[in-house]
Amino acid sequence: MIDRNQIAAEQATFRAFANSYLRELNSGNPVFHRIGERNFDCVEISLPSRHVVLRIEIKSRSLCGMHLFGQIWMRQDAGPNWHEIEPILAVHLLVLGAREAGSATHRQADVELLERILQSCQATKRYLDAADRAPPLVGFIAAEQSLYFGHPLHPTPKSLQGMSDWQQDVYAPELRGGFQLTYFAAAAHLVREDSAGIAVTSIVGSLLGNDAGNVAASSGEMLLPMHPLQAEALMLDPAVRALMDSGQIRYLGPAGPVFTATSSVRTVYSDDAAWMPKFSLPVRITNSKRVNRRHELEAGVAVARLFECAGIDTFEPRLG
């Protein structure tokens, strides 16, 4: 029996990778592929290091967005005969054929890229299966969690390297999992804070909701909310462990309302919270670990203050 979600996942994986490849590495040569009386509009890509030539049917061309692809054919360099191949094999050939010189460093990078591509494909299939079983939802978070194919021009749109399958049940947006934030109390001298308009302590207090009276920092401490994955990773860090052993950081545990991931994975949403926290995560989302850099945070506060000074929030409160 043909698994339609597996086919859809493999086609989506090829579509994202091939669009990235054609845009950034090799635009190929436009050709027609003839079968019987029918001509297929194609792009042809020669891969000398693999000794093969690919022809990829383009069912719909785009000048600025993504092409839509159909069948894929391959022949040996010196051979006259074309035969159809599966999308995943075509991706494999494109990755390995992208470099003419195969140094050990390049080979390692190719293997890692293939790993993330296959992981992205498997995740897409899993998310489509979950969507078939889950009741349809409407609204903001439903839209955020229904982007099953991810970025159309990224080679590994659904790769979450560093997040296990069982963790994805809770933290991947497409699987609609829910979790509480993890809280720490840190000595105030360890914390640098800034905000525009509303004090940080008020924002953190509002995130706790009904647990605000149960989770509190002592005198000289500040509360720090974290994504559970971020908290797990930090507690394994020797420097953080030393601060915890000295009492300068205290683990308080999960608290507050249930949050769920938006499409960015690291920005989280709760119906019961007025804020959407954005965290650093120890996970390579698509292709890189996403970290909140200090200069980025400072720029965000500066822009919020600019909006306030310019009165932007008076005619569009949602930008406040």
pLDDT in tens, the chain (320 residues): 679 999 999 999 999 999 999 999 999 999 999 988 899 999 999 998 889 999 999 999 998 889 999 999 999 987 789 999 999 999 999 998 887 645 556 778 888 999 999 999 999 999 999 999 988 889 999 999 999 999 999 999 999 999 999 999 999 999 999 999 999 999 999 999 999 888 999 999 999 998 888 888 899 999 999 999 999 999 999 999 999 999 999 999 999 999 999 999 999 999 999 999 999 999 999 988 989 999 999 999 998 888 888 877 666 655 54
One domain, residues 6 and 154: yes
Residues 227, 315, single domain; the answer is yes
Residues 90 and 234 in one domain: no
Q: What is the mean pLDDT of the chain?
A: 92
What DSSP designation does 47 have? E
Do 93 and 210 lie in one domain? The reply is no
Long-range contacts at 265-273 (CB < 8 A, ≥ 24 apart):
265/160, 265/171, 265/172, 265/173, 265/290, 266/227, 266/290, 268/181, 268/227, 269/140, 269/141, 269/144, 272/209, 273/206, 273/207, 273/209
**Judgement on whether residues 9 and 133 belong to the same structural domain of the protein:** yes
For residues 169 and 155, what is the distance between their CA atoms, to the nearest angstrom? 23
Domain span at residue 13 reads 1-158
Q: How far apart are CA 279 and CA 229, in angstroms?
A: 10
CATH number of the domain that residue 20 is part of: 3.30.310
What pLDDT score was predicted for residue 101? Answer: 47
Whether residue 173 is contained in a domain is answered as no
In a domain, 169, yes or no: no
> Is 145 found in the same domain as 195?
no
Residue 168 inside a domain? The answer is no
29 belongs to a structural domain: yes
Residue 171 lies in a domain: no
Is residue 139 domain-shared with residue 4, that is, in the same domain?
yes
Residue 237: HSE in the Cβ half-sphere, 13 Å Cα cutoff: 12
Same domain (yes/no): 183, 312: yes
What are the Cα distances from residue 276, in Å, to 203, 222, 272, 293? 10, 19, 11, 18
Sign of torsion over alpha carbons 110, 115, 120, 124: positive
Please give the torsion angle defined by the CA atoms of residues 134, 168, 139 and 270, in that order, rounded to the nearest 10 degrees.
130
Is 183 in the same domain as 270?
yes
Same domain as 182, residue 140: no
172 domain-assigned:
no
**Looking at the structure, do residues 125 and 227 belong to the same domain, yes or no?**
no
How many domains does the chain contain in total?
2
